Chains A and B, each alone.
Chain A
Amino acid sequence: MRARLARLWRPAQLPALAILLALAVAAVIVIASSAFTGLGFQPLLPIVAYTNLFIGAFGSGTGIANTLVAAAPLMLGGLAVGLGFKAGLFNIGVAGQFLAGAFAAAVVGSSLATSSPLVAVPAAFVAGALAGAALAFIPGILKARTGAHEVVTTIMLNNAIALILAWALQELVAAPGFSFPRTGEIGNAALPVLAGRNLHLGIPLAFLAIFAVRWLLERTTLGFEIRATGANPEAARYAGMRPVFLVTLTMCLSGLLAGAAGAVQLLGVIGFYASGISASVGFDSIAVALLGRSDPIGILFAAILFGAFRAGAPLMQITTSVPIEVIDIIQGLIILFLAADLIVRRVFRVRAAKAEIKELETVTRSWSGTPAAH
């Protein structure tokens, strides 16, 4: 039993300590800033604020539902980034693939708004996922065939797709009768609410995706090939694996998950596509994947944590006047401490052995040429 706990704790140790340290540093910032607001200097403010943050996120059925609703797209997006990391790919294009998925889900959903939900929901959801996969296919095939680096191509495609979608929205699919360009109502294509006000079908779907990706990576030969390609591309080639196929396929799967994240957010929460819908999920997904160490179960917990921040922050702001933006500071600090894990290890005196965050190597390696050079 103790050995099993130790096995679970070891990979979770650094992320957990990074979160702790981030909360501590953010607390100092909250105290310092309280001195400049009308409230006056309040040394206990962080404790009150964090308590309210926690109560807002987990203190009621509604709070938990809000947490899970916010976590669902982050789970899918985190899986998208994490799966890429496993293959040694850094998919920064999750933001663009998320938008493409949301757009496709909105267009298909609004055109099937009056069909049976049994047709409309799956069709809109699948359309979103496939749109993400199709967009990710481009950097995938470019990387596999020409070596063009996926970091560069996905960043460029993020901008390209945002502009293409803005044009398509205005010129092709804008619904009449609104003062700004947006798609029509999705009607029956909306993800059915299972419980409460907003606990929609996308949440079990996201949980399902967590276990599906875990199964893919751990239990299938394809997952074995993906992990081998990520850990040592030259050994993978030596072993007879097909890097071109694997790189392209992994990018597509990553895009599929990112597109699904977009579809879930659109069909479960937003309901229509308009310019300026939140694409922050795309970038938060990178943070979630890093915090979860690319492990599906780790991503599950990281996504719930980030979801809880979003769900609990309003109560914190109402009761303590600590602004919601503190959440961004905490998230930023978490990633900072994960990247600079030496700080965490110094503070908590954690031994270096095997504690480092491997996924960040994919990020740093991104800038020193192709992984094959190692």
Chain B
Amino acid sequence: MTERAPALEMRGITKRFPGTVANDGIDLGVHPGEIRALLGENGAGKTTLVNILYGLVTPDSGEILIDGSAVRIADPADAIARGIGMVHQHFMLVPVLSVVENVILGDEVTRGPFLDLAAAGGRVRALARQLGFEIDPEARVESLSVGQQQRIEILKAIYREARILVLDEPTAVLTPQEALEIFEVLRRLRSEGRSVIFISHKLDEALAIADRITVIRRGKVVGTRLPNETSEAELAELMVGREVSLRVDRGTSRPGDVVLVVEGLHAKNDRGHETLRGVDLDVRAGEIHGIAGVAGNGQDELVGAIVGLRKASAGRITFSGRDVTGASPRELQHAGQAHVPGDRHRFGLVLTFSVADNLVLTNYHDPPFAYGPFELLRGDAAVGRRATALVEEFDVRTPSTDVAVSSLSGGNQQKLVVAREFRPDVKLLVLDQPTRGLDVGSVEFIHRRVVAARDAGMAVLLVSAELDEVLDLSDRVSVMYRGRLVATVPAEEAKRERIGLLMAKGAA
């Protein structure tokens, strides 16, 4: 790294929210032509920091310098004018517009009162070539893959002449191959002298792409490392503040009877398209069967049909030797199913309810949480006792069991769902993205519980878009591609590269 003036310098940035200090005197300097990774747990303050940079949040104190001079960034328009570009985790694209239209949106090329789409198309095409993208500028955005859409976001920022590009967890939605491709793009941007700030909680990615890695914990910078002088273990320890084991020792499984059998299952998505197109699978007691796949290849429909939330349009589901096709969620819960849903806000929690009430959301009607005729009366004392015990056992960080779940951090909310669903009397655990968005400490904790559940004889169906999670935990791995399982292999034969290819292309 040459000692040039930093393109961006943030000094002593402090931001307090009621009850917490999100950023506590953060200093950060990024040079031109540098890729800087920002690592940190959920709630460490990474997103607050870049939101301050992009003018979405006003800091309580601290200053921002661009090319050595102090600036005040009041809103995103200010940030863009100063050469800062942002690629959000959730894309800000208009699906029905073309690539060109999306890129120029808000900064239109006009001739008189009219859009000059031809001229704009030429500029976008030239820019894409310069960045090494292969993109049809006339294509509608909704017809493009997630990876391509992300490139359009980058194109948008570069089109606005961003010299400092911020990417918030850019690989969270990508296949491993797409992630590698986006790294190529970032390297190209670096070679043009631009600065890149790359937010992640994935250690291997930070090591692979960054020139320097800055770790943030509880709003403070706890260290900056060069990738060739550090290790995943050291970074994880910096992030969490204690030693973490990154890989659970899975041990050997002792598969027992087949608990769940799915045969020729078809199902439609919410828009009525058949996105689950003939899946056969089984899960045995004492085994973790992992389903790898890029999000949106029918996993939601598969899980929905198994747990009774979605109607199967064809096929059969057998649970504990009983045909349960079309059974209701309640019937399946009583038969011994538990489900950690992929979207905890949409399905797993009632955010306005208390921690205690959410901890009995799926068994509030069972004694001792309910009593009297028709189990009509609530056993508040029992609910309270259960809540206190589970909060303790699963280390859910909450001021009390009476506060609304919405006030908990995402990681603690997820632990709450896991605590509720990992009941000892369960025969089949259906886990959908059980660690989505969680930091390494919480991931480690949940992974241990999954293995413990398996060792206690539960059958576990694990669906995850995180390939590493599937590979680390599963005793058998299946790959889902366009509504079908394209391969099922034992763990020892599941090589990362091959599974990655199967996820991306459906064949390897």
Contact = CB atoms under 8 A, between A and B. Distances in A.
Interface of A: 219-222, 224, 227-228, 231-232, 234-242, 353, 358
B142 to A, nearest CB: 19
A228 B357 CA distance: 10
B349 interface: yes
A224 B347 contact: no
B349 A232 contact: yes
Interface in B379-406: 380
B353 A228 contact: yes
Contact of A220 (B18, B346, B377): B377
B347 A238 contact: yes
A239 B365 CA distance: 10
Contacts of B501: none
A296 to B, nearest CB: 17
A28 to B, nearest CB: 36
11 contacts: A219-B377, A221-B364, A224-B378, A228-B361, A231-B351, A232-B351, A234-B347, A235-B349, A236-B350, A240-B329, A240-B362
B380 to A, nearest CB: 8
B376 A239 contact: no
Given A235-B361, A239-B362, A353 B348 contact: no
B77 interface: no
Contacts of A240: 328-330, 333, 362
B352 interface: yes
Interface of B: 18, 307, 309, 328-330, 333, 339, 341, 346-353, 357, 361-362, 364-365, 370, 375-378, 380
A219 B378 contact: yes
B362 A220 contact: no
Contacts of B362: 238-240
Contacts of A221: 364-365, 370, 375-378
B329 A239 contact: yes
A220 B376 contact: yes
Given A227-B353, A239-B361, A240-B362, 20 more contacts: A221-B365, A221-B370, A221-B375, A224-B364, A224-B378, A228-B350, A228-B361, A231-B353, A232-B349, A234-B347, A235-B348, A235-B349, A238-B307, A238-B362, A239-B329, A240-B328, A240-B330, A241-B330, A242-B328, A242-B330
Interface-centre pick from A224, A242, A358 (highest chain B CB count, 10 A) = A224
B255 to A, nearest CB: 28
Contact of A235 (B347, B364, B377): B347
A238 B332 CA distance: 11
Contacts of B307: 238
Given A228-B361, A240-B328, A353 B375 contact: no
A287 to B, nearest CB: 23
- The 3 A-B residue pairs with the shortest CB-CB distance in the complex, in nearest-first order: A240-B330, A238-B347, A240-B329
A232 B348 CA distance: 10
B361 A237 contact: no
A239 B361 CA distance: 6
Nearest to A374: B346
B492 to A, nearest CB: 35
B329 A237 contact: yes
Contacts of A238: 307, 309, 329, 339, 341, 347-348, 362
Contacts of B347: 234-235, 238
A39 to B, nearest CB: 50
A224 to B, nearest CB: 6
Contacts of B377: 219-221
Contacts of A241: 330
A246 to B, nearest CB: 13
A235 B350 contact: yes
B301 to A, nearest CB: 15
A204 B357 CA distance: 32
Nearest to B361: A239
Contacts of A219: 377-378, 380
B386 to A, nearest CB: 14
Contacts of B357: 224
B335 to A, nearest CB: 11
Nearest to A232: B350
Contacts of B346: 232, 234-235
B246 to A, nearest CB: 31
Contacts of A242: 328, 330
Contacts of A220: 376-378
Contacts of B370: 221
Contacts of A236: 350
A129 B61 CA distance: 62
A237 B309 contact: yes
A231 B348 CA distance: 12
A347 B348 CA distance: 39
A8 to B, nearest CB: 16
A353 B375 CA distance: 36
Question: Which of B329, B333, B375 lies at the interface centre, i.e. has the most chain A CB atoms within 10 A of its CB?
Answer: B329
Nearest to B362: A239
A236 B365 CA distance: 13
A358 B404 CA distance: 14
Contacts of A232: 346, 349-352
Contacts of A358: 352
Q: Which of B18, B330, B361 counts the most A-chain CB atoms under 10 A from its CB?
A: B361
Contacts of B365: 221
B445 to A, nearest CB: 23
B19 to A, nearest CB: 10
Contacts of A224: 357, 364, 378
A236 B361 CA distance: 8
Nearest to A353: B18
Nearest to A220: B376
B463 to A, nearest CB: 15
A150 B348 CA distance: 27
Nearest to B360: A224
Contacts of A237: 309, 329
Contacts of B353: 227-228, 231
A84 B370 CA distance: 24
A219 B364 CA distance: 12
Among A228, A242, A353, which residue has the most Cβ atoms of chain B within 10 A? A228
Nearest to B329: A240
A358 B352 CA distance: 10
A62 B174 CA distance: 74
Contacts of A235: 346-350, 361
A228 B346 CA distance: 12
